[in-house]
Every structure is written in C-alpha cells, then in structure tokens.
Amino acid sequence: MDSNSPIGVFDSGLGGLTVLKELRRLLPHENFIFVGDSARAPYGSRTPEEIISFLQQFMDYFQSRGVKMAVCACNTMTSYGYPVIKDKTSFALVPMNPAIIPAVKASANKHIGVIATEATIKKGMHKQAASNLDPQIKVFGVGCPKFVPLIETGHIHDDAIDEAVQEYADKFKTSDIHSLILGCTHYPIISEVLTKHFGKDVALINPALETAKDAATILTKNNLLNTQEQSGSLELRFSAKQNNSEKMAEIILGSDIPPITDVDLTTFAK
C-alpha cells in the first residue's frame, strides 16, 4: 500500500463534507476523494439490503481509484453496511465513531440525546455503544426524517428548518438530556438552529472529529501517513449535481474548493 495514495470519503449526499472538513484539518497533507450519492439520497428510508448494496458500490469505486483508506461519513451505512463489509476490502474502512465518550463527558447526569435518520435510530448503534461503555448511560434517540431533504436543498436558515427542529426538540422535553449527538453527518450544518431550540445548556456532539481521529490513528499505526510536504489534493464528486452543491460545499469547506464532477456508482457492483 502506497502512503501517497488518496483517501476516499463517502456519504449518501453532501453531509459527509462535515467529516471531510475535520479530516483535512487533522491530516492536511493527505489527498482526498469525496463521493456523495445525491442521486439516491436520503438513505435513512432505504432497506438494509439497499444500503449494503450501495456501500459495496462505493467500495468497488474506491478500489478502482487505488485508495489506501475509505472513511464512511454516514451513520446509516455504518449501522447497516459496515459490519457486513468491514473485512472484505483491501484497504482500511473507517466507520463513523458514535461519539459516546465525549457525549458522556459533557453530560453530568449521563442522559444523552441522539438525533439521526430513522434507519440509524432503529438499528440502535448509539444505544449499544453506550451500553458497552456504561450500562447506566441513558440514550434517548429520535429519528429526524425531515432534516436531510431540507439540508440537501439548502434550507439551513429559514422557517422550514426552524419548524422541523422545533418539532423534534419537543420530543426531548422530558428526557433531561445534557448532550446531543448529531448522529447524521448533515446535522452539524444546522448547529445554530439546533442550539436555538435545544438551549445552550445542551452540548452538541459532532462525531466527525472523533471519526477523523480514528482515521489518523489507523494511518499512523500502519505507517500510511502521506509524506509530501505540500497540502493534499481534493476531488469532489456527486452522483447527481444539485443546483446548490457548490454553495453548500463552500459553506462547509470554505471558498477554496475544486469544481464538482459527476460519478456513476451504478456501474459498479450491485
């Protein structure tokens, strides 16, 4: 495996760019290929079989690109696909970190909230991780199916997202949570609106940083850190280019981004 090979980062849409942001900050010399499957997003309402099939297509695409690592910047694919495919790739596959440890540190009463896609909540990834760490941790999970479609279409500061956040925040009224895990990579994009409705006393936990740390640890352990002195390169590819793709990429990553190109994942394994 060549240490100068690129790292693949993938998601059902553009939310995974929040993970890419942390990866580039932590690993500035690495070359990244980001792929978002906007044509088939959101994945939260997909069947487990579909999710696993789509994940395999990502793996075959990254295999063709010769990556040294792929980072799954999607909690839904981590929940359903990662356990099935983790030992079947020739490169390291990094799942989303559930971020239970920082959530517990931010919660004096061990009451943790999780907002995520319906599929992720149903799978119970965060509850299982919490139980493994400490059976006394109480996890309150709420599926938020309205968030991804709104965020993907650029509704991040308007009444539509405000009303949706209020609707889901109301479901936590009796839970007394002190921290809230953003269990979908899209959700950090609306952090301001979340804080407005959940209150400043509830710490928002973004698993993207913990996931980036996991990737860095694996690269270091396997002597795969890029040795180049200059900043790494970046490719942004989507299976369906939306009108607001460039705008959202700039909001998340900053203005210095490459042109967005297309990718057809359906030509790979099904």
Identify which of 2, 1, 18 has the alpha carbon closest to the alpha carbon of residue 156: 18
Q: How far apart are CA 114 and CA 120, in angstroms?
A: 10
- Find residue 260's DSSP bridge partners: 236
Helix-, strand-, coil-residue percentages of the chain, each rounded to 5: 45, 15, 40
Q: Which residues are annotated as a binding site?
A: 11-12, 43-44, 75-76, 185-186
72: annotated active-site residue:
no
Question: Are the CB atoms for 70 and 62 separated by under 8 Å?
Answer: yes
**Residues forming the annotated binding site for substrate?**
11-12, 43-44, 75-76, 185-186
Q: Is 144 a catalytic residue?
A: no
Distances (CA, A) of 259 to 34, 132, 234: 12, 43, 10
> Pick the catalytic residue: 23, 115, 184, 194?
184
Which member of 14, 23, 74, 144 is catalytic?
Answer: 74
Dihedrals phi, psi of 203, to nearest 5 degrees? -75, 130
Do residues 261 and 237 touch, judged by C-beta distance below 8 A? yes
Report how far residue 35's alpha carbon sits from residue 61's, in angstroms, rounded to the nearest whole number.
10
Instruction: Write out the H or E segment, with its range, that includes residue 34.
Output: strand 32-36
Tell me which residues are annotated as active site.
74, 184
